[in-house]
Amino acid sequence: MIKISGLSKHYGETLALDKVDLKIMDGECVVLIGPSGCGKSSLLRSINRMIDIDEGEIIVAGKDNKTYPPQELRRKIGYCIQNVGLFPHYTVYENIAVVPRMEKWDETRIKERVEFLMNLTGLPLSYLTKKPHELSGGEAQRVGVCRALAADPDILLMDEPFGAVDPMTRIKIQLAFKNIQKELKKTVVFVTHDVEEAILLADKLVVMQEGKILGYDAPEAFAKHMEEDFVRLFLGEDYPVKLLKRHGIDDYLKQDGDSSVTLHEILGRLLKSETGVVEVTDTQNKIHEIRFEDLTRYLREEERR
């Protein structure tokens, strides 16, 4: 668990964080969202002491993070950023192996971990001998995720990690990361300014403005925070519609499955339908009819959970 209490940070005369309190449970993906300068990156970077705070306390795994030597703390916490930061003269394998080698892992264990992560992120093992300049932006970003996870940290910090890739690649990486998190269940703190990315990935959503937290809740439960003018304007009046991208048809049917069809896509089909009905087939090949009111009812049920 990460427990943040009374956190404040100034840059000169500018107050970046204003007495922030936040508790992040083990295995949760908490997404920090807000406009540029709201303090979200400062909050994230204070966890691994990339920046020092002026006031407050951050408890990581039961200990004040100031009691850890900085380099030890940073090796224990995975860190993934927008521009990846791969070492240009290292191969993909060498880039991923950096922290495990610092931790004195034996090479057999490193090789197993590297290959596991490559498979998990959908990268061919043949890429292990490539250099960063031989990778596409999306491939390099996946390698960055592999490197952040290489030493099997309990905590992963991600600062707009997918912001530099094209929209189509970004969607693929987001879905890949969602599957990775589903399997590994790391404690993730993720910074973005993209509302739809936040909705897709977050177990809990944190909306920030001017160094303060205005709302902290599960995405489906955020309707009660929409009374706050800034939250409503930032998330958008169409926030409930955006929520449909978070849920697949398997969620709606309450079945195990791996359907790539989202309820947002079902809504699109309904808008084009002359009958106001869309038929979907479940994992037992049973046909179900979905109407607008079904989607509305589903969202209300999710909000009450």
Q: CATH number of the domain at 179, please.
A: 3.40.50.300
- Count of domains for the chain: 2
Q: Which residues of the chain have pLDDT under 70?
A: 223, 254-260, 303-305
Residue 228's pLDDT is: 80
Asked if 150 contacts 97 with a C-beta cutoff of 8 angstroms, the reply is yes
**Is residue 55 domain-shared with residue 82, that is, in the same domain?**
yes
Residue 258's pLDDT is: 53
What three-state secondary structure class fits 233?
helix
Residue 305's pLDDT is: 64
Residue 255's pLDDT is: 61
Residue 272's pLDDT is: 86
What gap in Å lies between CA 149 and CA 105, rounded to an integer?
Answer: 14
**Is residue 157 domain-shared with residue 296, that is, in the same domain?**
no
**Is residue 33 domain-shared with residue 147, that is, in the same domain?**
yes
**Is residue 230 domain-shared with residue 274, that is, in the same domain?**
no
**Is residue 122 domain-shared with residue 212, that is, in the same domain?**
yes
**Is residue 143 domain-shared with residue 66, that is, in the same domain?**
yes
Q: How many residues does the chain have?
A: 305
**Is residue 202 domain-shared with residue 75, that is, in the same domain?**
yes
Residue 78 sits in which domain range?
A: 2-236
Beta bridge partners of 279: 289
Q: Is residue 221 part of a domain?
A: yes
Examine the fold and report which residue of 236, 265, 291 is the final residue of a domain before the chain moves on.
236
The alpha-carbon radius of gyration of the chain (Å, integer) is 21
Examine the fold and report which residue of 190, 215, 236 is the final residue of a domain before the chain moves on.
236
Q: Is residue 62 part of a domain?
A: yes
Q: Is residue 105 part of a domain?
A: yes
Of the candidates 50, 39, 60, the residue with the CA atom closest to the CA atom of residue 191: 39
Summarised one tens digit per residue, pLDDT across range 1-48 is: 999 999 999 999 999 999 999 999 999 999 999 999 999 999 999 999
What gap in Å lies between CA 79 and CA 91, rounded to an integer?
Answer: 19
Q: Is residue 59 part of a domain?
A: yes
What gap in Å lies between CA 98 and CA 89, rounded to an integer?
Answer: 13
Q: Is residue 100 part of a domain?
A: yes
Q: Is residue 66 part of a domain?
A: yes
**Is residue 290 domain-shared with residue 222, that is, in the same domain?**
no
Q: Is residue 241 part of a domain?
A: no
What gap in Å lies between CA 32 and CA 45, rounded to an integer?
Answer: 12
Summarised one tens digit per residue, pLDDT across range 140-156 is: 999 999 999 999 999 99
Residue 260's pLDDT is: 63
Asked if 130 contacts 124 with a C-beta cutoff of 8 angstroms, the reply is no
| Amino acid (one-letter) located at 152 | D
| Amino acid (one-letter) located at 47 | I
Examine the fold and report which residue of 202, 236, 270 is the final residue of a domain before the chain moves on.
236
Residue 304's pLDDT is: 67
**List of long-range contacts for 95-98, beta carbons under 8 Å, 24+ apart:** 95/132, 95/143, 95/147, 96/143, 96/146, 96/147, 96/150, 97/150, 98/147, 98/150
What gap in Å lies between CA 261 and CA 267, rounded to an integer?
Answer: 11
Q: Is residue 243 part of a domain?
A: no
**Is residue 65 domain-shared with residue 186, that is, in the same domain?**
yes
**Is residue 211 domain-shared with residue 254, that is, in the same domain?**
no
**Is residue 135 domain-shared with residue 227, that is, in the same domain?**
yes
What gap in Å lies between CA 80 and CA 137, rounded to an integer?
Answer: 14
**Is residue 76 domain-shared with residue 150, that is, in the same domain?**
yes
Handedness of CA 234, 213, 171, 89 (dihedral sign): positive
What gap in Å lies between CA 98 and CA 261, rounded to an integer?
Answer: 38
